[in-house]
Amino acid sequence: MRLVKKRGAVGIGTLIVFIAMVLVAAVAAAVLINTSGYLQQKASSTGRQSTEQVASGINVMQVSGYTPDKNRIDLLAVYVTPNAGSGGIDLTNTKVIIGNDNIQAMLSYPKTGVNLTAPVKVVKDSSGNYYANASQLASTLGIVRYLVTLDNLNNLAAGYINISALQKIGVLKFKLNTAGNATEWIYVEPQYFRYVQGPVDDVFLDGLGVAAQTQFVTGTVNTTTNTITITNKNNINWPGYIWNLLGKDYFGIIVVQDYDHSVTNDHPTLNKGDIVILGINAAKLFGGIPVRTHITGKVVPEFGAPGVIDFTTPSTYTSNVISLQ
């Protein structure tokens, strides 16, 4: 009887050890399964990111320049499109790095407006609306050719533009000096100078597209009270893209092709087949680009391969629009 009891005790101990081993093996197997599942998902995610990084990117199709006097190039139009197989490219997070032998600059899409301090003569009508001298305002903003060409305003110096209406619809803000007869500053909101949806007749016109409307008026001005008695009033267009306001830190967007309407003003995203022009104000950036000048740069997206900018300007400028790359 004692031997049987001893054998039973040994059998129970062995069973306990066996069960413990099975439990340990099960726990280890669960850990291995979870770890392998995590690693598989991580590897799959890394593979997708690597594929996206390799396949995505921007292709610079061509670069054109504009010279108003055939001495220096003032404006650059960089045509870009996504690489084949590329994912969406957010242009708000895209940078343009460009330079010559003396200057290396990094440009981005404008997220803030432009503050202008050039004085502009202002008058007021009987309803309390303020009007800025059209010639001075157009010169300050750099849209003289736009107003003359698109709105047929050949008498800018004799007319006034309703800036109260522009402020009311959010195009700009202004502050008057203490005398109330000139602007102290004019602030132009970013959405009214950085973007235009094509087609456009002339890429290098100083203003492009129609973003809003205001009034152009003529009349009799009382210089003592700075008031105007309006005799004629016409609606005029306000551009959505103004080359002069891009400055040296920003590029603008001119949409050439966008079937899915993904390249919007606030969230411009390049998808397959989209083509846009990145506008660069070379006059503000370099003081203009003379002949025989080597320009290099990149259009760098948030992820993916950058587009290459590399050209040398010709020995002479024989036309106003020059193909550079």
* pLDDT over threshold 70, residue 147: yes
Rounded Cα gap, residues 173 and 131, in angstroms? 13
The per-residue pLDDT of the chain, averaged, comes to 88
Q: What is the distance, to the nearest Å, from the Cα of residue 94 to the centroid of all Cα atoms in its chain?
A: 8
pLDDT of residue 19: 78
* pLDDT over threshold 60, residue 5: no
At 222, give phi and psi (nearest 5°): -95, 105
Q: State pLDDT tens for residues 51-66.
A: 555 557 999 999 999 9
pLDDT of residue 40: 66
pLDDT of residue 289: 95
Rounded Cα gap, residues 231 and 309, in angstroms? 52
| Lowest model confidence (mean pLDDT) among 43-57, 95-109, 174-188 | 43-57
Q: DSSP letter for 23, please.
A: H
Provide the CATH number for the domain formed by 56-109+250-323 in this structure.
Answer: 2.60.40
Angstrom distances, CA of residue 120 to CA of 15, 117, 183, 212: 98, 9, 5, 21
Tell me the residue ranges of DSSP E strands in 170-250. Answer: 172-176, 183-188, 195-197, 207-208, 212-222, 227-238, 241-242
Phi-psi bin for 180: left (phi > 0), alpha (psi -120 to 50), beta? left
* pLDDT over threshold 80, residue 173: yes
Average pLDDT of span 295-313: 94
pLDDT of residue 217: 92
Average pLDDT of span 8-17: 66
| Lowest model confidence (mean pLDDT) among 25-39, 77-91, 304-318 | 25-39
Closest CA to 71 of 320, 323, 324: 320
Give the predicted TM-score (pTM) of the model: 0.81
Q: State pLDDT tens for residues 118-143.
A: 899 999 999 999 999 999 999 999 99
Q: State pLDDT tens for residues 93-104.
A: 999 999 998 899
Identify which has the larger pLDDT, 31 or 88: 88
pLDDT of residue 14: 73
Identify which has the larger pLDDT, 82 or 25: 82
Average pLDDT of span 70-78: 95
Q: Which two tokens stand for residue 37?
A: 């599942």
Q: For the chain, which residues make up each domain, given as ranges?
A: 1-55, 56-109+250-323, 114-244
At 32, give phi and psi (nearest 5°): -65, -40
CB atoms within 10 A of CB 26: 10
Identify which has the larger pLDDT, 70 or 35: 70
* pLDDT over threshold 80, residue 43: no
pLDDT confidence band for 18 (50 / 70 / 90): confident
* pLDDT over threshold 80, residue 39: no
Identify which has the larger pLDDT, 149 or 55: 149
* pLDDT over threshold 80, residue 245: yes
CB atoms within 10 A of CB 271: 17
Q: Which two tokens stand for residue 42?
A: 């991580």
The vertex-145 CA angle with 144 and 150, nearest 5°, equals: 110
